[in-house]
Amino acid sequence: MLFLLFITSGLFLGWSLGANDAANVFGTAVGSRMIKFRTAALVAGIFVIIGSTLQGGGATATLSELGSIDALGGAFTVALCSGLVVTVMTTYRLPVSTSQAIVGAIIGWCFYTSNPVDYGTLGIIASTWVVSPVLGGIFSALLYLGLRRYIRTTRTHVILLDRKIRYSLLLVGAFGAYSLGANNIANVMGVFVNSASFNLNIGGYNLNDNQVLFFLGGLAIATGIFTYGRKVMHTVGQGILEVTPETAIVVVLSQALVLFLFSSASFSHLIQRIGLPGIPLVPVSSTQVVIGALIGIGAVKGVQEIRFRQLGHIMLGWLLTPLMAGLTTFISLFFINNVFRIAITHKNLPEVTSGLPAGNTHTEINLPVNTVIIITGLLALLVISVSAYWVYRHFRMKAEQSETSKRLFEQLQYAELQKSLSEIEMKNVKSENYSLVNRLEEKRRELVTYALSIAEQRQFLENTLEELEAVRLESGINEKNVRLQELIRGIRQKMNFSGEIERIYQQAEQVNDDFPSRLSTHSPQLSAQEKKLALLLRIGFSSKEIAPLMNISPKSVEIARYRLRKKLDLKKETNLTDFIKTI
């Protein structure tokens, strides 16, 4: 029973991992809306349990080399502090690394209990924090290029392609969940391996202590996926780079490959057999691999696709995680050991009894000056780091608010400008409509005038025909001559067309705007007839067309043009019509 109580902190850490790291398996798929969250959580939960139980021992052994925690009280504290730090980070939607949290907590335990830290192992683990996202970026870039080429070269119907992408997301997600369980179960239950010893028989099949621990940890991870994984899925799936279904396949497969490489003992031995250095079995951060994969795809698509502000926010969380976990563990161990009288290690410490069950001891530790200095320094560093983080958040929020206010002000200005432009456009439209109405009315009056003129001309011609018919019937020659002379005078008077010609001049002036006034300003010595001639030339009338309008012969028009050239003082090579058009 006491064992179950102690491993609750490991189960809590497993829940935190499921809520944070394990969400990365299907975060991109859910973010691209290709797979529902419930389906993704179910598949991820099943395969993370399988991977944890069958292949969780490799990375656990490496983590034990960093610091061998040999008491349940110490393992409980390390796992509890790691889970608390990861949960706090998850609350702020930061996809942090559970691997970094547990490593920081183990180092905190080593410092407090004066157990040596294997810095060689620490260097290997820390190097994977850099190598794993780089590998994820390389794998994702290559896979993305290959997938994009495949889609371009194969002519697959869009519905069939969508179905293939969904099935591919489920398959690579299952592989990713298996690899995650195999690699990251060390973070959840690795600290209990050296302090727990028991066997479990189920239906004649014996499960050793590690397999039981890994199975329980896998259940805790699956629970974390179901209950709290949705928030981080949004940050990973859409926070750094806009994710499409195709990129979701690439990201999940890249993460699965990297986690599998760092957790497969068989593959590491195979590499060693061909003369290459083996791959260390180290618990790596799935979050870092996923983000590295997203950056790799963003680099292929264009650096402008990457949201560097969100990326910087995540990296700041990575830096704070091991520091906060180590310091929290260091302080918590003091209270666990000295207040609750629970043993946190058995190494080189005398066994004492305090009413606890057999095998559990505690130790009173008198903190030396060096330890006090370390605690003070770590506290100061934590305070500075947290203060820097909150200052960063404060100024970032201020900058975002300022940017939001600026955008809102610009939008308001734009709306005002649009309103002003709309009012101006409405006025212009009304003015144009008014002008069109006036022009239509003018044209209507012109049509009425032309119709009346035609009717008048028709009536005049009918009367003339009647008069000619009457003259033809006259018997006296003198009387015929007198009546013919009257008809000729009437026809000549009718041929005057002065009203029609005047309307033509008026329309010509309207078409050519202020040409008459400009012409008068340019050449005030011109007569009224010469100005009319210039207007008709500007319109493009020829001499034959001008002659009837001015009631003169074409020869007289040529003479009038010659006189106009003289008054305008034009050279021989200058064309009169072209010059008039420039005025």
- 139 pLDDT band, cuts 50/70/90, is very high
Q: pLDDT grade, residue 441 (50/70/90)?
A: confident
* Secondary structure element (H or E) that encloses residue 202, with its range: strand 199-202
| Token pair 């409980």: residue | 76
pLDDT tens digit sequence for 193-236: 877 665 555 555 566 677 788 888 889 888 888 887 776 665 55
Q: In this predicted structure, what is the pLDDT of residue 109?
A: 92
- Residue pair 150/23 in contact (Cβ under 8 Å)? The answer is no
DSSP 141-180: HHHHHHHHHHHHHS---HHHHHHHHHHHHHHHHHHHHHHH
At residue 105, the pLDDT reads 92
501 vs 529: which has the higher pLDDT: 529
In the prediction, which pLDDT does 385 show?
59
pLDDT at 351 over 60: no
Higher pLDDT, 491 or 96: 491
As a CATH number, domain 503-582 is 1.10.10.10
pLDDT per position as a tens digit, 292-326: 888 888 888 765 555 556 666 667 777 788 888 99
pLDDT higher than threshold 50 for residue 365? no
Task: Give one word for 93, left, alpha or beta, with left for phi > 0 and alpha for psi -120 to 50.
Answer: left
Range of 280-294, 392-406, 411-425 with top mean pLDDT: 280-294
Q: Tell whether the model's pLDDT for residue 405 goes beyond 90.
A: no
pLDDT at 504 over 50: yes
CB atoms within 10 A of CB 134: 15
Task: State the pLDDT confidence band at 349, using cuts at 50, 70 and 90.
Answer: very low
- Tell me phi and psi for residue 266, to 5 degrees: -65, -45
Distance CA 357, CA 559 (A): 135
3-state secondary structure 113-133: HCCCCCHHHHHHHHHHHHHHH
Q: What does the pLDDT read at residue 1?
A: 52
pLDDT band at 275 (very low <50, low <70, confident <90, very high): confident
Confidence of residue 397 (pLDDT cuts 50, 70, 90): low
Q: What is the mean pLDDT of the chain?
A: 77
Note whether 176 and 252 are within 8 A (CB): yes
Mind listing the pLDDT tens digit for each residue in 318-345? Answer: 778 888 899 999 999 988 888 888 888 8
The span from the first CA to the last CA of the chain, in angstroms, equals 109
Q: What is the DSSP letter of 205?
A: E
What pLDDT shows up at residue 512? 67
Say yes or no to pLDDT of 551 above 80. no
| Segment 444-469 mean pLDDT | 73
Pairwise pLDDT comparison (308 vs 251), residue with the higher score: 251
Over the stretch 9-51, which tens digit does the pLDDT of each residue have? Answer: 888 888 877 876 666 677 767 766 778 888 888 999 999 999 9
Q: How far apart are CA 159 and CA 43, in angstroms?
A: 24
Burial of 406 (0-12, 13-18, 19+ CB in 10 A): exposed
Element (H, E) at 201: strand 199-202
User: Could you read off the pLDDT of 157-173 as tens digits, one per residue?
Assistant: 777 888 888 889 899 98
Cα-based angle 44, 50, 53 (whole degrees, multiple of 5):
135
Q: Tell me: pLDDT of 143 over 90.
A: yes
Query: Which amino acid is residue 336, in one-letter code?
Result: I
* Coil, helix or strand at residue 473: coil
Q: Supply 506's token pair.
A: 């008026």
Whether the per-residue pLDDT at 138 is higher than 80: the answer is yes
Judged against a pLDDT cut of 70, whether residue 451 lies above it is answered with: no
Which one, of 561, 554, 553, 498, lies nearest residue 526 by Cα? Answer: 561
Amino acid at 366: N
pLDDT in tens, 58-89: 778 888 888 888 888 888 899 889 888 887 87
Give the helix/strand (H/E) hosting 36. Answer: none
Check residue 393 and give its pLDDT: 61
Task: Give the C-alpha separation, 180 to 44, whole Å.
Answer: 9
Q: How far apart are CA 427 and CA 435, in angstroms?
A: 12
208 forms bridges with which residues in the sheet?
Answer: 199
- Taking only Cα atoms into account, the Rg of the chain, rounded to an integer number of angstroms, comes to 48
Contact assessment for residue 281 and residue 268, using Cβ atoms and an 8 Å cutoff: yes
Percent of the chain exceeding pLDDT 90 equals 8
Going 219 to 220 to 225 to 227, the CA torsion angle's sign is: positive
User: What is the rounded distance in angstroms from the CA atom of residue 95 to the CA atom of residue 288?
Assistant: 9
Torsion of CA 471, 472, 477, 478, to 10 degrees: 0
Residues of each domain in the chain carrying CATH 1.10.10.10: 503-582
Bridge-partner residues for 296, per DSSP?
Answer: none
More confident residue, 411 or 276: 276
**Beta-carbon count within 10 A of 142 CB:** 14
Contact of 52 with 259, CB cutoff 8 Å: no
